[in-house]
Amino acid sequence: MSTFAQRMPSLDSLVPYAGTLLLILGGSLFYPQILGFEYLTQQLQISAFLGLLALGATLVILLGHIDLSVPWILGGAAIVSTSLAGTGDPLLTALAIPLALLFGAVVGIINGVGVAILRIPSMVWTLAVNSMLLGVAVLNTGGFNPKGEASETMVWLATGNIAGIPAAFIVWMATAGAMALLLKRSGFGRYLSSIGYNEKATFLSGVSTPSVIFAAFAIAGVCSAFGGVLLAGYANQAYQSMGDPFLLPTIAAVVIGGTSILGGRGSLVGTIGGVLFITLLTSILSVMQISDAWRNIIFGVIILAMLLLQTLRKRAA
């Protein structure tokens, strides 16, 4: 990837912003409240939950891999944080968020081991990890919703605001900014794209590709865990399968944002736009009383359309 490509948003990354604007303008013709400040800030708040997941997923997809363990990293982090906060012990409550993020990092590293060391396809390995996390959660809770509740800090991060701007949105933007600096100011970002283009050539050039893969999956795990913490704060509890509805929208947001599912090309700017588009589309479909089944079909069609477009563009290049 050229230096210019790293510093300047590509046309692909700007497409979801145009789509979001069209959704707002088109939706307002039928539902004028869409243009209201309260509605738009609510969408920014809700988009932060998906946005944190999508930031981590972008790193993994840039590698040319995919992480299907997002739902239960999210769910597991929510269970860890609410279980600790629900004890009432001040020390455990203070450790609730850090330990939940540590949980995400550990699972991410486990994913990295399977992909980089054992050389198991990421789709298979992460799906198996997701299944095992589900099993552990069921064993721990007996199949019922886990006990515990969110801490005041978790609730404020998810539902509070600063000068009218949702705190969750600010957290999402701060995380995105920190990640953008990491990608632009260090070799890590270049290595991600290089591995996505050609992992073998990158390794032969002297780059420790397993270390890069470990780091990417670990960061993705932390992002998924952070999303789980915020969701638990929003709901004031953790519940079974709370992460399941987020897997397809997470992948859709990244792909819509212009990140190639084959790896090597993409941007966080595009991912943020993809998240805003998906969040607003979901909201409008809910207002129109479209069922979950049709929403999944729409997301699937969007992903397939973007994959087809990327494939055609690669052949034409």
8 A C-beta contact, residue 238 and residue 79: yes
Q: Whole-number mean pLDDT of the chain?
A: 89
**Radius of gyration (Cα) for the chain, nearest Å?**
19
**Does 269 have pLDDT greater than 70?**
yes
pLDDT digits (tens, 9 = 90+) for 102-121: 999 999 999 999 999 999 99
Q: Given phi > 0 = left and psi -120 to 50 = alpha, else beta, which region is 315?
A: alpha
Residues 124-152 pLDDT 10s:
999 999 999 999 988 887 777 788 899 99
Domain holding 217, by residue range, is: 3-316
The total number of structural domains in the chain stands at: 1
pLDDT-derived band of residue 310, with 50, 70 and 90 as boundaries?
Answer: low
The domain that holds 260 is classified in CATH as 1.10.3470
- Give the integer Cα–Cα distance in Å for 99 and 135: 20
Query: What does the pLDDT read at residue 317?
Result: 60
Query: What tens digit of pLDDT does each residue of 2-47 get?
Result: 333 344 456 677 888 988 998 899 888 888 888 889 999 999 999 9
302 or 177, greater pLDDT: 177
pLDDT number for residue 7? 42
- Confidence (pLDDT) at 5: 39
